[in-house]
Chain A
Amino acid sequence: MPTNERFEIKNINVSFGENVVFKDFSLSLPDKRITCILGPSGSGKTTLLRILSGLISQKKDKKSEKTSFIFQDHRLLPNLTAQDNLALVLEGKRKERKEIARKMLCDMELEEASGLYPSELSGGMAQRVAIARGLIAKSDLLLMDEPFKGLDLGLQERLIKYFVRHWEENKRTTVFVTHSILEAILVADRIVILGKGDDGAQVVYQKDFTMPREKRALGDPEVDALRSEIHDILVAL
């Protein structure tokens, strides 16, 4: 797999009061690949996404990259319909933006949600709209913070498949934070595990996973071995 490392963060330092989250932390992300970040709670996964999105300002090598951020909660504007929430992050004329948004909602099995406001949607539907918004926005960097958390298993599986299909059609550098080892194995080109040290977060494991995604499934010896390996590292942290 070509690993043209386009996005890099170098020597970042972030503290919240006396809690050092990152100290001289560096990480590079393979261009147009999905990097999955795993790690225990408080290891700085979400903070890393916030740095990459510019929500926490740092002196970065690459500045002003346009980002899409799928948050843990949906963060849809309550005064806009699902369709308008998607159109909000697009560029171009209003009518065109709305049409693109409508098509995206259809693709995501959310056609009936199109004209509804967030308060009219179930939690799962609202989160799917938020995922659709993240996928539809034109950006250099897609950031996902446990986007499938809290959804039922069937829906999770369908959405992961949809996400992978959509991503294959519009490849871009993606950072996917998750607590689910299986989710990471199903979608990742690179798996990174963050651990907490006295001097903030550290990369304790990094592996590029080149197996074609369509072949990845439970029961496959390579998948099971990797799952077991990651599980043992996470348990030990």
Chain B
Amino acid sequence: MNKKRVIINIVAPLCGVAAFIGVWFAVAASVGKTVILPTPIETLKAFFSLLSQSEFYRSVGMTLARTLLSFIIAFSLACLFAVLSYLCYFFKRAFSPITLMMRVMPTISIILLVFIWFDSEISPYVITFFVIFPMLYTVVANAFDGVDRGLLEMAKAYRIPLCRKIFRLYIPQMAPSVLTGISISLPFSVKLTIAAEVLAFTKESMGRNLKQQSSYLETPSLLAWTLAAILLGFLLEGLILILKKCLFNTKKEGKYADK
């Protein structure tokens, strides 16, 4: 990457953020009411005030734990079902209408049904699982389809042991697209979990705090909690992208490569 491109990659996002904050300032000044739209400074003050409260860390921690637990369960089951689909064409075809239904079903219908069936502590897990599972299943199943057929034939011809085939062929071939899918669906899981917590008014949760600030018309605090949710999403997406870069940066071209 040349120097000019590096500078653009740093400067351009900063310009975008500055423009957003500028517009925010202008609109907040023209509205002139903190309860409707606080300025960025008022929001930041509320955010730093949150950072000094132990309740904030407990709520963020619990929301993160709910998100990760639902995500891990959804991902594990998505992998299991994708493997079954890969091994058995009948199963793949039989399972496709179920995943299709789960994918197109309105999220709000899932949320409302889950509230009927489960209590407010369990609901965020179930909602996140039901929405995320079909997405992850599709990602993993497509990753299986994307494994290089030529390499699979080579492995079959040489009778490479299954264990070596899994760790040397399947996982490295599938991981980039699976990690891309995870980097999209994990921040989405944060949003879903928080939405479910708002509606279920779950104890010790970011969603409950958002709902409370909204009820008290504490708009700066509401935006501060939103900022915390955004940062949590950024953090998770960033971690996945760093992991992807570290593990699978094999696109190398050395002195012998054909130009």
Contact = CB atoms under 8 A, between A and B. Distances in A.
The answer to whether A binds B is yes
B13 to A, nearest CB: 30
A101 to B, nearest CB: 14
B156 A120 contact: no
Contact of B256 (A53, A78, A113): A113
A176 interface: no
Give the secondary structure class of B's interface.
loop
A93 B41 CA distance: 62
A89 B254 contact: no
Given A77-B151, A79-B248, A117-B252, A89 B258 contact: no
Given A116-B254, A117-B250, A117-B252, A71 B158 contact: no
A73 B252 contact: no
Contacts of A69: 154, 157-158
Nearest to A134: B158
B168 interface: yes
Say which size band chain A's interface belongs to. Answer: 20 to 34
Interface string B170-209: 0011000000000000000000000000000000000000
B255 to A, nearest CB: 8
Contacts of B258: 122-123
Contacts of A185: none
B169 interface: yes
B166 to A, nearest CB: 13
A55 B153 contact: yes
Given A66-B159, A69-B154, A69-B158, A121 B164 contact: no
Given A67-B159, A69-B158, A80-B168, A75 B254 contact: no
Contacts of B173: 79
Interface residues of B, number: 24
B248 A89 contact: no
Contacts, number: 72
B238 to A, nearest CB: 24
A222 to B, nearest CB: 35
Contacts of B160: 88-89
Contacts of A83: none
A144 B173 CA distance: 26
Given A54-B157, A117-B252, A122 B257 contact: yes
A119 interface: yes
Contacts of A121: 254, 256-257
B33 interface: no
Interface in A134-154: 137, 139, 143
Given A73-B150, A75-B150, A120-B254, 18 more contacts: A53-B157, A55-B157, A68-B158, A69-B154, A69-B157, A75-B151, A79-B248, A88-B160, A88-B168, A113-B256, A117-B250, A117-B252, A119-B250, A119-B253, A120-B256, A120-B257, A125-B256, A139-B158
Query: 8 smallest A-B Cβ distances: which pairs?
Result: A120-B254, A69-B157, A79-B172, A75-B154, A53-B157, A122-B256, A89-B158, A75-B150
